[in-house]
Amino acid sequence: MSDDPVAVVTGGASGLGAALVAHFARKGWAVTMNYRDERKAQAVFGALEREGAAARLLRAKADVSNRTQVRRMFAETVEAFGKVDILINCAGVNRDAPLLEMTDEAWDTVINAHLKGTFICCQEFVLHHPDGPGHIINLGATCGLQGRKNGANFCSAKGGVLALTKCLARELAPRIQVNCLIPGSVDTPEVRERYRLDTPEGLKAVVSHIPMGRIGALQDITHMVDAILEARFTTGVNFYVNGGDFMP
């Protein structure tokens, strides 16, 4: 068994999750890439395989809100790599709508993906990581603190993730550190489409609110994750990566 860390990244086939999968794989770490979309997962795997960085990459298709599937994912990780040290919870989905138009299905889908999924993955991580220090990093959002229009389900889920992070940080200390990464406008396909970053007008509108004068890069996220994982006396903390756009 290698001494290198073993990481599980949920939502690892797109956006920030895919960036973290690639980041860890390029370091030579063992990584389990959780996903639901086969096409996106194959694209990430194929790109890393061409780089020669996929030798210790395990693909695990699972709905994070499904206990049986998540338990199998962690069991397969331990079987393949002998242990699991790090959990990064990036899986999620948006189903925006005004309050009076939001369906029960839209509410349940988003709450299950973000909040229930984070809870189940954290619980199964701890059950499959019985010894030694460990790290859990949950993905939060500023709207979990300040809300936004047409996102009652998403904002409520992220608010729940922020509270869950603090609860678990207290309960799992000192062995497992639990922190929350809260990104701002980072250049992912979803953010690019949502805010029309491919247009001068859309990019200018977003950047005008950011004191550091640019949108975030994926490397800004991976650098912060590295810093969190290096920390030895930090738990229950929100780490903001937003160029000063939101200052609590």
CB 73, CB 62: distance < 8 Å: yes
pLDDT digits (tens, 9 = 90+) for 188-241: 988 888 889 899 999 999 999 999 999 999 999 999 999 999 999 999 999 999
CB 94, CB 154: distance < 8 Å: yes
Domain residues for the domain of 25 are 6-185+217-240
d(CA 83, CA 89): 18
- Note whether residue 92 is domain-resident: yes
Structure tokens at 90: 């990036």
d(CA 168, CA 235): 9
For the chain, give the mean pLDDT: 96
d(CA 117, CA 138): 11
- Parallel, antiparallel or unpaired: strands 238-241 and 57-61: unpaired
Total domains, the chain = 1
- Note whether residue 192 is domain-resident: no
- Note whether residue 90 is domain-resident: yes
CATH number, domain of 110, equals 3.40.50.720
pLDDT digits (tens, 9 = 90+) for 98-137: 999 999 999 999 999 999 999 999 999 999 998 899 999 9
Which residues are within 8 A (CB) of 46 and not within 5 positions of it... i.e. 6 or more apart? none
Give the distance from CA 68 to its chain's centroid.
20
Which residues are within 8 A (CB) of 230 and not within 5 positions of it... i.e. 6 or more apart? none
- Note whether residue 190 is domain-resident: no
- Note whether residue 247 is domain-resident: no
Residue indicated by tokens 């939060």: 140
Structure tokens at 18: 């895919």
- Note whether residue 198 is domain-resident: no
Work out the pLDDT band at 1, boundaries 50, 70, 90.
low
- Note whether residue 131 is domain-resident: yes
Share of the chain above pLDDT 90, in %: 93
pLDDT digits (tens, 9 = 90+) for 147-160: 999 999 999 999 99
Q: What is the pLDDT of residue 185?
A: 93
- Note whether residue 1 is domain-resident: no
Which residues are within 8 A (CB) of 112 and not within 5 positions of it... i.e. 6 or more apart? 65
Element (H, E) at 228: helix 218-230
- pLDDT above 80: residue 183: yes
pTM: 0.96
